[in-house]
Structure 1
Amino acid sequence: MITGEIKSQIDAIWNTFWTGGISNTITIVEQLTYLIFIKDLDETETRNERMAKRLDKEFTPIFGPDQQDFRWKNLKEIDVQARHSIFTNSVDGIFPFIRSLGSEKSLFSTYMKDASFGINKAATLDQVMEKLERLDMSNQDIKGDIYEYLLSKLEGGGTAGQFRTPRHIIKLMVEMMQPKLEDTICDPSAGTAGFLVAAKEYIDKHYDITELDRNKEHINKHMFNGTEFDATMLRIASMNLFLHGVEEPNIVDVDAVSKDNEVSDAYTLVLANPPFKGTIDKESIAPGLSNVTKTTKTELLFLALMLRQLKKGGRAAAIVPDGVLFGSGKAFKSIRSEIVNNHKLEAVISLPSGVFKPYSGVSTAILIFTKTDNGGTDHVWFYDMKADGKSLDDKRNLLVDEEAFNNFAFSKALTQEELDALAKDHDKFNLPQILDQYHYLKSDYWGKMHTQEGELLHVNDIPKNLGFDHFMESTCTHNYADRTSQSFLVPIEEIKENDWDLSINRYKEIVYEGNS
């Protein structure tokens, strides 16, 4: 959660660039990202040194004996002018070193080959480093928030309908999809690689070091994939993944929905928040996508792209603008019928319109589906998220306990007391319930307590057999046929009758409290 104090610190750094004669927003973001990257490399090295010492095992250092001056902790101590020379030295300075990271032919090294130092005054570098040093980035979430805030300065947070996805929404989607070590994951609109980084963090938390080591090659070279055609974002995404332990992330420089992107049947999991308002020249669109939905609207083309790029049995969680759910045009209906009729649509989670504030008040939803090529949709789960744990105004203040907000995903590890507290805070924070109910609906316990339509059965069995020790009690006893609740099931026949409409308001029943 980014605080006013951190914002002030970043704004102060921003002003230092301005007074140093650097006013281009992209240049500032890129130069700051390089410095954060250099600082992070040193912190990663220090962590690895400590762990190697504690476990008494070898590790491959990032910095060689001749590169110790490039470590942040040492750079801080060097004379201002001498330090600036280390940054500007184009032969054996710090930037040639950064460009050499990753293997010679890796995409990381390809994108970093254009990385160059752009702070001309030694005093400006000195002041920026001093201010960065005071910025506490030890917590990964805070580091993510700092990135978000920095990137929000690029044209007010989004271009061509691209809005930075809040980290807790990314985390919710990743936790729902539960990435596995054998997955090959893609974000076709990678941006700063937020979804891919969150998937890597999930993998790191859920597997032990031995398993991670065994799959090192897959993790480093094949697991994390994406497309992004903005050169700055390519570098930022590559650095972001590199700092999270992915040595050769496969982020490709291509317009995802164009003819140049030929990837198909390649991924087992797609996580994305594609651009909402973009359009693409009709002649440039990849032919296969037009067969699914004849349109130039990127929000529809990206869904068709996900279906093409997924392997059979592959799953997707994607954020879409509300218009995709109920648009009456032919292209809108054809993409919805494709997903519902020819594949398996599992869930539609409606998000409150304040989720993307202060950058946009757009209403959105999360679609979760599996590529089957032969249908499989029976009942679609709808959830009406009303509260995401933060105020839905421009301030986006945290409304619940910070620890609960950050740890909601680990409800299985929480005490009964903590679970009760989450339940008590439900009106302000729906995410724990969404996660719990989604996993329950997909578990072996579903069907022991409920009919296929979601009505409660009368069951004589012990709570343990019914899942009460795996899920929140309210999850096991909820009536999923109740259309007046936040969470209910809708059969495919009804969706078909309604022209494949997927907006929650089409199916939700409103209770009017009149005078009796």
Structure 2
Amino acid sequence: MITGELKTQIDGIWNTFWTGGISNTITIVEQLTYLIFIKDLDETETRNERKALRGFKYTPLFAIYKGEKDEVNQQDFRWKNLKEMDVNARHNIFTNTVDGVFPFIRSLGQNKSLFSTYMKGATFGISKPSVLDQVMEKLERIDMTNQDTKGDIYEYLLSKLEGGGTAGQFRTPRHIIKLMVELMQPTLEDTICDPSAGTAGFLVAAKEYIDKHNEMTELDKHSEHINKTMFNGTEFDATMLRIASMNLYLHGVEEPNIVDVDAVSKDNTVSNAYTLVLANPPFKGTIDKDSISVGLKNVTDTSKTELLFLALILRQLKTGGRAAVIVPDGVLFGSGKAHKSIREEIIANNRLEAVISMPSGVFKPYSGVSTAIMIFTKTGSGGTNNVWFYNMLADGKSLDDKRNLLVDEDLFMAFAFGDGFEKADQDLKLAVHEKFNLPQILDHYRYIKSDFFKKMHAVNGELLQINDLPLNLGFGQFLENTCTHDYSNRTSQSFLVPFQEIKDNDWDLSINRYKEIVYEEVIYDAPKDILKRINSINILREVIAKQLEQNLS
């Protein structure tokens, strides 16, 4: 979320557009995105040039060629050169519809690729040279080395007009995206999809994870898959299509497969295609029943988007494919037939692994809706045994509209943007737990899925007494309290619930259904003793009042 100096800077750019005669929010977002894209292209080229000094091979983005009239030097399109130009000369390069900046942008990506198709709609919309000059000057002052800054800018601008989103769509906080990606651990063999792609935050985070956890030789070996088939999504908003495509392109995906289609409509026929889905589908939206894909209605007969997307994800996953999906709490306990049918499908006919309940403030200030992360695997033949429930109470930020950080900023950023908190020592992780549960969530989930869990715990999570070396029990690989936690203890934040109990509760997945609350006994004095104290206080009050009256007279 944007606060402080960055908010002031973006407000300044916003006002520059407005005073320059551009008042449509979507137009501002698009034009600002194009400028950020051009700036990032130059930064990407500069990084590649530096790496080339160490033997790195790459194809330069900015070439020199013979245009229709004169020689075209695309080096002029680099941000570092554009910002040094005369105001009018620069504006002419942007407005040139033949050999200018925007034809260059539209030419990126292979011919007939989805990227080039969506970028064909990219047009320059800043008519005044002075406005372009002021916006570029103000953008130059913003530090965008933090990759999430771009997403924060989109979020803030959209919030000015639409309160953060429409039809229940809200941008997922970066640290929650990071958590979900770290939980799922994408690999080079995965084919990944986000059926409600938006700005492609999940897909970009997955790409970052893959880049970090694989050697360059392995990445090169899988380059064809990475560039053309690994990253997929659906999005029907033209602006978001361009933003998502540019975002992925800048993160090394040359031909992102972001499809222009309403994900749950009859037009989307994709099935059995993906090994991993990461998603935050729209909440509380509805779709015309006649346009819904028939296959989805067979699983959950409804027009509610939050239920239809779950059915869609099951259809699109390959057998053995897995998903991490954010859902509103109503999906977990709704008593309607459609709610029960989709839960039964996931639990009884596939394998539900985890339900991570999140506090209602995660999406503030744009929404106070309570949400949870569901993790499941498509099997088509059942397989749910014990479902892991985690009650997230703190995500590292205050749960009010301000969403202030509650832990050290460097510590939080290391988790949300860097190394998944691996570099922090155990004492530090445990010390911040009360305000920041995400490290423990990662640790507990990985432990439960490991072979160590079966050595130390019974099937329902009870802690066993085992005589073995600590290293053989996982003590060297997990937080100290993770290996010794009693996962059958329903008064804790982290516990297991068996399949049969969930079935007996009509497939209810609300954590409050299974969590045990410990009530502390409070002993009060007898009423007659309380009355005696009240009478004594009254007598004392009267005495003091008489003394005051005497002193005044």
Tell me, yes or no, whether TM beats 0.5. Answer: yes
Where does residue 39 of structure 2 map in the other structure?
A: 39
The change in CA–CA distance for 1:479 and 1:411 in structure 2 (over 3 A counts) is: farther
Question: Residue 430 in 1 paired to residue 437 in 2?
Answer: yes
Superposed CA deviations along residues 394-448 of structure 1, whole A, max 9, x for unmatched, are 0101110122212337468425xx3211211111000000000000011111111
4+ residue segments displaced more than 2 Å: 141-154, 406-415
Where does residue 8 of structure 1 map in the other structure?
A: 8
- Counterpart of 2:380, as a letter, is D
Residues in 2 aligned to 1:49 and 1:62: alpha-carbon distance in whole angstroms:
11
> Is the CA contact (8 Å cut-off) linking 1:352 and 1:386 kept in structure 2?
yes
Where does residue 27 of structure 2 map in the other structure?
A: 27
Identity of aligned residues (%): 79
Residues in 2 aligned to 1:112 and 1:449: alpha-carbon distance in whole angstroms:
55
Where does residue 275 of structure 2 map in the other structure?
A: 268
5 Å-filtered alignment, 1:283-294, equals 283-294=290-301
Residues in 2 aligned to 1:113 and 1:49: alpha-carbon distance in whole angstroms:
28
How many residues are treated as equivalent by the alignment? 513
Where does residue 124 of structure 1 map in the other structure?
A: 131
Question: Residue 232 in 1 paired to residue 239 in 2?
Answer: yes
Residues in 2 aligned to 1:470 and 1:151: alpha-carbon distance in whole angstroms:
43
Where does residue 423 of structure 2 map in the other structure?
A: 414
Residues in 2 aligned to 1:141 and 1:448: alpha-carbon distance in whole angstroms:
41
> Is the CA contact (8 Å cut-off) linking 2:390 and 2:441 kept in structure 1?
yes
Residues in 1 aligned to 2:437 and 2:338: alpha-carbon distance in whole angstroms:
32
Partner-residue secondary structure (3-state), 2:390: strand
Residues in 2 aligned to 1:468 and 1:282: alpha-carbon distance in whole angstroms:
53
The change in CA–CA distance for 1:411 and 1:86 in structure 2 (over 3 A counts) is: closer
Question: Residue 333 in 1 paired to residue 340 in 2?
Answer: yes
Q: Which of 374, 386, 403 pairs up with 1:379?
A: 386
Question: Residue 245 in 1 paired to residue 252 in 2?
Answer: yes
Residues in 1 aligned to 2:56 and 2:441: alpha-carbon distance in whole angstroms:
42
The change in CA–CA distance for 1:316 and 1:411 in structure 2 (over 3 A counts) is: closer
The change in CA–CA distance for 1:169 and 1:413 in structure 2 (over 3 A counts) is: closer
User: If you compute each CA radius of gyration, which structure gives the higher value, 1 or 2?
Assistant: 2
Residues in 2 aligned to 1:127 and 1:429: alpha-carbon distance in whole angstroms:
40
Could you tell me how far 1:513 is from its partner in structure 2? 1.3
Residues in 1 aligned to 2:515 and 2:56: alpha-carbon distance in whole angstroms:
58
The change in CA–CA distance for 1:355 and 1:411 in structure 2 (over 3 A counts) is: closer
Partner-residue secondary structure (3-state), 2:80: helix
> Is the CA contact (8 Å cut-off) linking 2:421 and 2:439 kept in structure 1?
no
> Is the CA contact (8 Å cut-off) linking 2:414 and 2:421 kept in structure 1?
no
- Counterpart of 2:60, as a letter, is P
Residues in 1 aligned to 2:444 and 2:134: alpha-carbon distance in whole angstroms:
50
- Counterpart of 1:32, as a letter, is L
Question: Residue 509 in 1 paired to residue 516 in 2?
Answer: yes
Superposed CA deviations along residues 113-170 of structure 1, whole A, max 9, x for unmatched, are 0100000000000000000000000122334433433443451111000011000000
Residues in 1 aligned to 2:74 and 2:421: alpha-carbon distance in whole angstroms:
45
Residues in 2 aligned to 1:151 and 1:180: alpha-carbon distance in whole angstroms:
33
Residues in 2 aligned to 1:458 and 1:251: alpha-carbon distance in whole angstroms:
52
Residues in 1 aligned to 2:421 and 2:87: alpha-carbon distance in whole angstroms:
51
The change in CA–CA distance for 1:153 and 1:183 in structure 2 (over 3 A counts) is: farther
Residues in 2 aligned to 1:57 and 1:338: alpha-carbon distance in whole angstroms:
49
Question: Residue 490 in 1 paired to residue 489 in 2?
Answer: no
5 Å-filtered alignment, 1:269-348, equals 269-348=276-355
Where does residue 63 of structure 1 map in the other structure?
A: 62
Residues in 1 aligned to 2:489 and 2:325: alpha-carbon distance in whole angstroms:
26
Partner-residue secondary structure (3-state), 1:312: strand
Residues in 1 aligned to 2:347 and 2:206: alpha-carbon distance in whole angstroms:
26
- Counterpart of 2:423, as a letter, is L
Could you tell me how far 1:3 is from its partner in structure 2? 3.8
Residues in 1 aligned to 2:87 and 2:325: alpha-carbon distance in whole angstroms:
47
Residues in 2 aligned to 1:421 and 1:126: alpha-carbon distance in whole angstroms:
47
What RMSD in Å do the two structures reach over aligned CA positions?
A: 1.2
Where does residue 470 of structure 2 map in the other structure?
A: 463
Runs of at least 5 residues in structure 2 that lack an aligned partner in the other structure? 65-72, 524-553
> Is the CA contact (8 Å cut-off) linking 1:6 and 1:135 kept in structure 2?
yes
Residues in 1 aligned to 2:143 and 2:290: alpha-carbon distance in whole angstroms:
48
Q: Which of 406, 409, 412 pairs up with 1:402?
A: 409
- Counterpart of 2:483, as a letter, is C
5 Å-filtered alignment, 1:465-484, equals 465-484=472-491
Superposed CA deviations along residues 284-311 of structure 1, whole A, max 9, x for unmatched, are 1111111111111110000000000000
Where does residue 536 of structure 2 map in the other structure?
A: none
Question: Residue 192 in 1 paired to residue 191 in 2?
Answer: no
Question: Residue 439 in 1 paired to residue 446 in 2?
Answer: yes
* TM-score (norm: length of structure 1): 0.98
> Is the CA contact (8 Å cut-off) linking 2:415 and 2:421 kept in structure 1?
no
Where does residue 529 of structure 2 map in the other structure?
A: none
Residues in 2 aligned to 1:27 and 1:381: alpha-carbon distance in whole angstroms:
45
Question: Residue 201 in 1 paired to residue 200 in 2?
Answer: no
Partner-residue secondary structure (3-state), 2:33: helix
> Is the CA contact (8 Å cut-off) linking 1:412 and 1:470 kept in structure 2?
no
Superposed CA deviations along residues 88-132 of structure 1, whole A, max 9, x for unmatched, are 010110000000000001100000001000000000000000000
Partner-residue secondary structure (3-state), 2:506: coil
Question: Residue 171 in 1 paired to residue 160 in 2?
Answer: no
Residues in 2 aligned to 1:189 and 1:493: alpha-carbon distance in whole angstroms:
33
